[in-house]
Structure 1
Amino acid sequence: MAKAMKNPPAYGVTSVDHALQLAVILQVEGPITVSEAARRLGVARSSAHRLLSTLVYRDFAVQNDDRSYRAGPVLEIAAKAQSNVGALRTAALGPLRTLVDTLDETANLTIRTGRTARFIASVECTRALRVGNREGMVFPAHQVSGGLVMLAALADDELTALYAHAPTDGSAEHPDLAELRGELRAVRSSGVAVNLERSERGLVAIGRGVTDPSGATIAAVSVSMPSVRYSPDRVKEIVSALTVAADRISAEMHEGVR
């Protein structure tokens, strides 16, 4: 199966990256103030204000009467779904930080939209060699551990419908469906998915599902690490910590809807 490498650009433009990060925040979380934007990006308030003003000019954002900013017309379709995503992210941040404290590896929360998986929260560990923040990134669902966990939650006919119009050329965006079904059976059996350099060279990730009160899988929590620090001997410890984190996120979501 072909791999799609997703590495930082060699000549990244910081201001562009910051603007895109803000667009993602507006899209998946909802309104944000200039002060909060500055804190999240680690920039001065004046810089955050200029970035938000540019997003308003390009219709990616709209300023509210209280001077906060919300998703604009360009993002309004995705903004309709922001409340649940925002609640998920809020519920996950504490457990993700605990997960990082426990394993000293980067932790993430992922949701699935169709055939893609989006990272909606990411907490980096402090090691010099580490997997960076993935928040806002989108990958084909079958290439990342969280995406595999969520695909495994689908019934066979749902999976067939999801990839009904996919070509059979083995491209990264369209997996071999027979092969994928076999992989998903293993994920269902174990409750976890392992990404061994599947999405990015030198990266290993292990994911577990987050469920709602009905038991439906609504997200996935994962731990990512450089492949040089991975060994099968770590899996039991990682899965145990992931289970605790997933249960805490599920419980917090349950509390939030009471």
Structure 2
Amino acid sequence: MSEATTASEKTLMVLEAAMTHGRFSEIVTAVNLPKATVHRILTTLVERDFIQVADGGAHVPGPKILSLAGVAYDRVDISTIVQPYIDDLVRRVQCTVHVGVRSGDEIIYLVRTDSDKPYRMPSRVGAAIPLHTSAIGKAILARLDDDAIERFVNRAGLPRRTARSLTTLDELRAELADIREDGYAFDREENVPGVVCIGTAVRDHTGHSNYGLSISSLALEHTEGQLAAMAGDLRKAAADITHALGGDR
């Protein structure tokens, strides 16, 4: 541990370690500080209700930290958080980029940022799209197990949006297997004729993949192979957004 580490830094280190390590010995190991220092900081955090000591001696989040977490979550504006990463992705790929969130059996667009191209995608913020016809939706579905996929199909069905929409459980399962292997999904004119997308899922602070990110273009301008060449940029942006939302890259 650097001698230059300030008291404030030490307090934050101990607080963070206490959120993920219950035992005193584990916290000491995680922060690599003297036991006396860790004990003093933990005592203050307990007195201020940031930490509680549960039965058996484990340290757990206290009422103050839970209250602050709730306030912080209520104030989260996803659009504001993700916009810098979206702007950077648009500059790199020169296509329209969307961020969507799962709402039941649909994807709702939260963000749409266009490139300098002379055309605009036929999409809008607030639009609802079936999970199985969108790149974002399929990328999120690919994170579910087979039983959850079957329940989704039984509940929502697989309505056809275009001639290329997936309409059977077997088709969907085969596609999701490819998505799990590749790490990204395609929309091959499955939602709007002439529009193609590549998308991937984004995890939030809970570790769940309820958000997603996609790059959209016209089928006349980008082939599937050309979209696939953008996968690296797409996944980097998704990892950055995941981190910004409190998830693990």
Q: Where does residue 237 of structure 1 map in the other structure?
A: 229
Task: Give, in angstroms, the shift of residue 88 of structure 1.
Answer: 2.6
- 1:177 and 2:165 aligned: no
**5+ residue gaps in structure 2?**
1-72
Q: Pick from 179, 190, 197: which aligns with 1:187?
A: 179
Q: Please list the CA deviations of residues 48-68 of structure 1 after superposition, one character each: whole Å capped at 9, or x if unmatched.
A: xxxxxxxxxxxxxxxxxxxxx
Q: Where does residue 69 of structure 2 map in the other structure?
A: none
Could you say if the C-alpha distance between residues 84 and 103 of structure 1 is closer, same or farther in structure 2, counting changes exceeding 3 Å?
farther
Q: Where does residue 89 of structure 2 map in the other structure?
A: 99
Instruction: Give structure 1 regions of 4+ aligned residues with deviation exceeding 6 angstroms.
Output: none
The question of whether the paired residues in 1 share the 8 Å contact of 2:135 and 2:197 is answered with: yes
Q: TM-score, normalised by structure 1?
A: 0.60
- The root-mean-square deviation of aligned C-alpha atoms, in Å, is 2.4
The question of whether the paired residues in 2 share the 8 Å contact of 1:210 and 1:219 is answered with: yes
C-alpha distance in structure 1 between counterparts of 2:202 and 2:167, whole Å: 24
Task: Give, in angstroms, the shift of residue 240 of structure 1.
Answer: 1.1
The question of whether the paired residues in 2 share the 8 Å contact of 1:130 and 1:226 is answered with: no
Q: TM-score, normalised by structure 2?
A: 0.62
- What pairs up with 1:155-170 in 2 under 5 angstroms? 155-165=145-155
- 1:246 and 2:238 aligned: yes
C-alpha distance in structure 1 between counterparts of 2:154 and 2:171, whole Å: 15
Task: Give, in angstroms, the shift of residue 172 of structure 1.
Answer: 2.1
C-alpha distance in structure 2 between counterparts of 1:233 and 1:181, whole Å: 22
C-alpha distance in structure 2 between counterparts of 1:106 and 1:166, whole Å: 28
Could you say if the C-alpha distance between residues 208 and 165 of structure 1 is closer, same or farther in structure 2, counting changes exceeding 3 Å?
closer
The question of whether the paired residues in 1 share the 8 Å contact of 2:105 and 2:156 is answered with: no
| Bigger-Rg structure (1/2) | 2
Aligned residue type for 2:186: V
- 1:123 and 2:109 aligned: no
Aligned residue type for 2:138: L
> Could you say which structure has the greater relative contact order, defined with CA pairs below 8 angstroms and 6 or more residues apart?
1
C-alpha distance in structure 2 between counterparts of 1:143 and 1:214, whole Å: 26
